[in-house]
């Protein structure tokens, strides 16, 4: 039996941990999975990246590693997000080519789509205009993955593809209030407000709309893409449901059984108002796929955060 050796970059992060969890019950006998963190190799370094390819000789790569952050982290460091992600992506794809990796799945995001657009946005619209100003660095670096994938396919026949998830949350997220995304940030703030008896703060107006996906649902879809999806063009991995930041914040408060006051800090940025993405392509492939209801996913994540509060990323 020929083994498929899958190297997962960013294996210690939110999405990587979700994939590891799903594989506890969904791995196949001919598959070996290697989950990397930055301790195994700094993927900004070409030589360290090459050393892991030399060591593991992967046949497949799931490229998750990235400089990742919420709206406020991006606004402060667009240049770093651009340069670091460009470097990591180029190192991984160059080594995947050099070491004859059969398939690479990299990760884009719905937050890299054009700012001024019609809705819903689909996979064909990725490059139709500039991204939102708040995260242009991350966005252009991520968009280039799609461009390089096309180059590797047309020039060398490589099967390097990508997925476009919406806003992800779940166990092992980055709960740092300044750096993280909105759901882990709000969970951490709710926990603190409950402990300290202070008001819970929602940044911005709460009006923007987002699609959210539970990391364990995304993990199942990622594994399907790696095993089955044959296109080079990306595929959006998102739920149908769009929800306001205010409504998601109140769901989090409900999960905490929070009884204190709530404030909106309207001088803080709202970011892009919405990025409504179509999952029609996904539904053509997987019409029956069931997403975890958002209330259940929020409850499970809140329970995980409370249980792992001392040691988790925050």
Query: Where on the chain is the footprint of ligand GDP (CB under 6 A)?
Result: 70-72, 111, 167, 181-182, 185-186, 189, 202-204, 208, 210, 245, 268-272
Q: Read off the tokens for 23.
A: 């594989």
Contact between 39 and ligand NAP per CB under 6 A: yes
Give the nearer residue to ligand NAP in terms of CB position, either 109 or 134: 109
Question: How would you write 80-96 as a 3-class SS string?
Answer: HHHHHHHHHHHHHHHHH
Instruction: Work out the end-to-end distance of the chain between its first and last CA atoms, rounded to an integer number of angstroms.
Output: 43
Give the nearer residue to ligand GDP in terms of CB position, either 14 or 52: 14
Residue 154 burial by Cβ neighbours in a 10 Å radius (0-12, 13-18, 19+): exposed
Residue 72 Cβ vs ligand GDP, minimum distance, rounded to whole Å: 5
Give the nearer residue to ligand GDP in terms of CB position, either 192 or 268: 268
Positive or negative, the CA dihedral 147, 74, 219, 122 is negative
Contact between 78 and ligand NAP per CB under 6 A: no
Please choose which of ligand NAP, ligand GDP, none residue 185 contacts, taking the beta carbon within 5 to 8 angstroms, the exact cut-off set by kind: ligand GDP
Residue 104 Cβ vs ligand GDP, minimum distance, rounded to whole Å: 24
Residue 261 Cβ vs ligand NAP, minimum distance, rounded to whole Å: 28
Contact flags string 45-64 toward ligand NAP, x per CB under 6 A: -------------------x
Contact between 251 and ligand NAP per CB under 6 A: no
Give the residue among 184, 91, 71 at the shortest CA–CA distance from 136: 71
Give the residue among 142, 9, 25, 159 at the shortest CA–CA distance from 85: 142
Q: Read off the tokens for 105.
A: 């799945």
Please choose which of ligand GDP, ligand NAP, none residue 203 contacts, taking the beta carbon within 5 to 8 angstroms, the exact cut-off set by kind: ligand GDP
Residue 166 Cβ vs ligand NAP, minimum distance, rounded to whole Å: 7
Residue 233 burial by Cβ neighbours in a 10 Å radius (0-12, 13-18, 19+): middle
Say how far apart CA 38 and CA 43 lie, in whole Å: 7
Please choose which of ligand GDP, ligand NAP, none residue 16 contacts, taking the beta carbon within 5 to 8 angstroms, the exact cut-off set by kind: ligand NAP
Is 138 a catalytic site residue? yes
* Contact indicator for 7, 36 with CB cutoff of 8 Å: yes
Residue 219 Cβ vs ligand NAP, minimum distance, rounded to whole Å: 10
Q: Binding residue for ligand NAP (CB under 6 A) from 60, 132, 181, 220? A: 181
Torsion of CA 215, 148, 157, 58, to 10 degrees: -50
Please choose which of ligand GDP, ligand NAP, none residue 92 contacts, taking the beta carbon within 5 to 8 angstroms, the exact cut-off set by kind: none
Please choose which of ligand GDP, ligand NAP, none residue 245 contacts, taking the beta carbon within 5 to 8 angstroms, the exact cut-off set by kind: ligand GDP
Helices (H), 159-293: 182-196, 215-228, 245-256, 280-285
Give the active site residue among 138, 152, 191, 229: 138
Q: Which spans of this chain sit near ligand NAP (rule: CB under 6 A)?
A: 10-16, 37-39, 42-44, 64-68, 88, 107, 109, 165, 167-168, 174, 181
Supply the residues annotated as catalytic: 138
């Amino acid at each position: 039996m020929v083994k498929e050796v899958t190297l997962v970059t960013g294996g210690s992060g939110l999405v990587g941990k979700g994939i590891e969890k799903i594989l506890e019950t969904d791995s196949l006998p001919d598959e070996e999975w290697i989950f990397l963190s930055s301790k195994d190799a700094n993927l900004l370094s070409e030589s360290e990246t090459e050393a892991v390819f030399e060591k593991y000789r992967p046949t497949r790569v799931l490229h998750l590693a990235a400089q990742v952050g919420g709206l406020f982290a991006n606004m402060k460091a667009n240049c770093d997000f651009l340069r670091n992600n460009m470097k990591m992506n180029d190192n991984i794809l160059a080594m995947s080519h050099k070491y004859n990796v059969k398939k690479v799945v990299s990760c884009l995001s719905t937050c890299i789509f054009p700012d001024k657009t019609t809705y819903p946005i689909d996979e064909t619209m990725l490059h139709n205009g500039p991204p939102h100003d708040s995260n242009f660095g991350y966005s252009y670096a991520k968009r280039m993955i799609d461009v390089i994938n096309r180059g590797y396919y047309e020039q060398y026949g490589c099967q390097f593809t990508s997925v476009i998830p919406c806003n992800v949350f779940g166990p092992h997220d980055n709960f740092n209030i300044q750096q993280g995304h909105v759901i882990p940030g709000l969970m951490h703030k709710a926990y603190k407000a409950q402990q300290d008896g202070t008001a819970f703060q929602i940044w911005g107006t709460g009006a923007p709309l987002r699609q959210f996906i539970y990391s364990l649902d995304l993990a199942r879809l990622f594994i399907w893409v790696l095993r089955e999806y044959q296109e080079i063009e990306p595929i959006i991995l998102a739920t149908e449901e769009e929800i306001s930041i205010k409504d998601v914040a109140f769901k989090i408060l409900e999960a905490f059984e929070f009884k204190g006051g709530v404030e909106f800090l309207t001088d803080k940025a709202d970011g892009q108002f919405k990025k409504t993405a179509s999952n029609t392509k996904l539904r053509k492939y997987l019409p029956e796929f069931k997403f975890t209801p958002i209330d259940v996913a929020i409850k499970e994540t809140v329970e995980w955060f409370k249980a792992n509060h001392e040691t988790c990323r925050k």
